[in-house]
Amino acid sequence: MAGASGDLDLLAGAARDAGHLVMDYFGEGARLQHWEKRPGDPVSAADMAADAFLKDTLLIARPDYGWLSEESRAEPGSSGRVFVVDPIDGTRAFIKGRSDFCVSLAIVENGRPVVAAICAPARDQFYTSVLGGGALCNGTPLRVSHQSAIAGAKLLGDAGRLHDLRAMGAETVHINSVALRLALTASGEADGLVAVRPKNDWDLAAGQLLVEEAGGYVSSPDGAALRYQNATPRQPAPIAAGPALHALLLQQLAGPIKESS
């Protein structure tokens, strides 16, 4: 089995190359080359090209690792490690020509992410992390914000679904990519993330490691840790923030979240 540094080099190189690949489609190409997998669930030619590239690149290098991706069939491995891949997280933003999308890659072992790389090519942001080794953006170490009150907090989520938090003085900002929301929380550019709907493993695994290695917490609404490599790759709606704000959000969101009328 490869060491953590070798796996990070592999993920980082693959994420950068996939980022360059999807930018070749960005703009008019993305607008013209997309369709719906299911109603309301878009996919583009860039998603599929990046997925094929990543699968070839990563599994040739680590043929004993498993594979879990939004865009292709899952495959078991023999090593206990699994690549968890979203070739474009934030496809709606990508198709519309917005910058809030990314390539999100993680390696999961024993139910938790251990290596991560997120490339947001239209924002020129590149994030990496290894379990126990901290988190970086463009080579600079990351720390979550020290925000300790809901009033004044910048929270990433659907503003129309976070009425209670906005009533308490929080600012809510919508960014399409969940992985990028986690990365921005890890960097302190945002104070936290509050989701109100379940998410898939490929949305969360890489970003969770960034947040935790930057000193924050990611959990379900009841405070439970997220665990991967389950029979179904689906997680409860996550909450992510620094320690003090995370505790306040768990307390405030213990009941049903009120949506705007």
Q: Give 168-188 pLDDT, tens digit per residue.
A: 999 999 999 999 999 999 999
Give span(s): CATH 3.40.190.80, the chain: 154-252
Task: Determine the topology of domain 154-252 in CATH.
Answer: D-Maltodextrin-Binding Protein; domain 2 (3.40.190)
Instruction: Name the pTM for this structure.
Output: 0.93
Closest among 220, 229, 234, 5 to 117, alpha carbons compared? 5
Instruction: List all residues 6 or more positions away from 232 whose beta carbon is below 8 Å from its beta carbon.
Output: none
4-141 has which CATH code?
Answer: 3.30.540.10
Query: For position 1, what pLDDT does the model report?
Result: 41
- Local confidence band at 253 (pLDDT 50, 70, 90 cut-offs): confident
Closest among 141, 144, 102, 95 to 120, alpha carbons compared? 102
Query: For position 116, what pLDDT does the model report?
Result: 98
Cα-Cα end-to-end distance for the chain: 53
Give span(s): CATH 3.30.540.10, the chain: 4-141
Q: Report the alpha-carbon distance of residue 15 to residue 86 in Å, rounded.
A: 10
